[in-house]
Amino acid sequence: MSASAIQVTDLRKVYTVPEREAGLQAALRSLIRPRVREVQAVAGVSFQIAPGEIVGFLGPNGAGKTTTLKMLAGLLHPTSGEARVLGYVPHRRERAFLSQMTLVMGNRNQLQWDLPAADSFELQRAIYRIPPAEFRATRDAFIELMEVGSLISKPVRNLSLGERMKMEIIGALLHRPGLLFLDEPTIGLDVTMQRRIRNFIASYNQRYGATVMLTSHYMADVEALCRRVIVIHHGRVLYDGPLSGLVDRFATYRQISLSLSEPADLSAYGEVVANAGTRVTLRVPKAEISLLSARLLAEQSIADLTIEEPPIDDVIERVFATE
């Protein structure tokens, strides 16, 4: 096995998609001369992930995140390039590889709908050939961690979305995989449920030293779990490094939050992003922060002034909008 849990070199996936214009004429024409177009979903990405790392894999819809995850999980054959995951070539889908990893996709139901989750867990035991004692110990520990003891005997169809997601995650981790691909695991869940799932992932990572690759549109997930992020856009890696570095590299502005003694128009100092009477937030260029702070303190009646880095999702949104 190589030193990296995941090693990806110039990985590409090109889809050939049929294409035709609207209308009857175009439909007839396409019968005789069908037209196809090549779409590069992943256009040559390279990165390495060390064992035990939790890495956020970020990008807007259609950036190539899920396609990359599917290639790394062995669901898709890459068009070119190389991927080694836990020392295996994923698309060969060897039994030993599949037994050591899991891919959890948000809103995906792998549990038996009409049966209690306990029955689906039992099936997972047989599929992954988990020794019975180990299975019971893991199941009970996860049930306790997720606080779902009272729900285990209820048919899955009677569970709420959040409860179902907890059960999905337990089911996906019963075989204690060393590698987790988590694709939007908290999508559609309320903040309490999101937090509980985040805590579970963090404690799983600590307890078993598992490597985690996480995609999420909720920056709270990324901020809570990932010290490193890989940002992908148009199928290419745009940034790979610490989460904090993302702000340094891409945020060309800072935010100044002000408490004023009396309401005032501050639009001459920068872009007003929030204005609630005496509480105002300004967005100003990073290079001018010292100068503008000094001017504000000198020219306005200010009770409090705080300089903040912009919210991470704001930074990411701007990166994707400008690239």
Partner 1 sequence: MGGILDLYWSMARTAVLAQFQYRVANYFYMIGMIAEPLIYLVVWSSVAVAQGGMVGGYTPGTFAAYYIVWTLVRNMNIVITPYAWEWRIKQGELSAALLRPVHLLHTDIAYFAGWKFVVILLWFPLAALLALIFRPTLNPSLLEVGVFALAIWGAFLIRMLLLWLMGMVTFWTTRVSALYELYFAVELILSGRLVPMSLLPDWARNLAGWLPFQWTFGFPIEALVGQLPPEQLLGGLLIQLLWIGLGLLLVQLVWRVGIRRYGAVGG
Interface ranges with partner 1 (CB under 8 A): 15, 70, 73-77, 91, 93, 95-96, 98-99, 101-103, 105, 108, 110, 112, 114-115, 119-120, 122-123, 125-129, 155
Q: How far is the CB of 14 from partner 1 (least distance, A)?
A: 12
Q: Which is nearer to partner 1, 113 or 274 (CB)?
A: 113
Closest approach, Cβ 215 to partner 1, in A, equals 14
CB of residue 82 to partner 1, shortest distance in Å? 17
Q: Evaluate whether 280 touches 298 at the Cβ level (below 8 Å).
A: no
Q: In this structure, are residues 41 and 64 in contact, taking their beta carbons and an 8 Å threshold?
A: yes
Nearer to partner 1, 93 or 286 (CB): 93
- Listed in sequence order, the residues at least 6 apart from 131 whose beta carbon sits closer than 8 Å to its beta carbon are none
Q: DSSP letter at 88?
A: B
Nearer to partner 1, 71 or 280 (CB): 71
The nearest distance, CB 70 to partner 1, in angstroms, is 5
| Residue in the structure block whose two tokens are 């590889």 | 97
281 strand-pairing partners: 257, 274
CA 274 to chain centre: 28
If the CB atoms of residues 46 and 99 are measured against partner 1, the closer one turns out to be 99
Q: What 3-state class would DSSP assign to 129? A: coil
172 token code pair: 């996906």
* Phi/psi of residue 93, nearest 5 degrees: 45, 50
Residue 72: name the closest of 26, 4, 16 by CA: 4
| Least Å from the CB of residue 236 to partner 1 | 21
Q: Which is nearer to partner 1, 102 or 255 (CB)?
A: 102
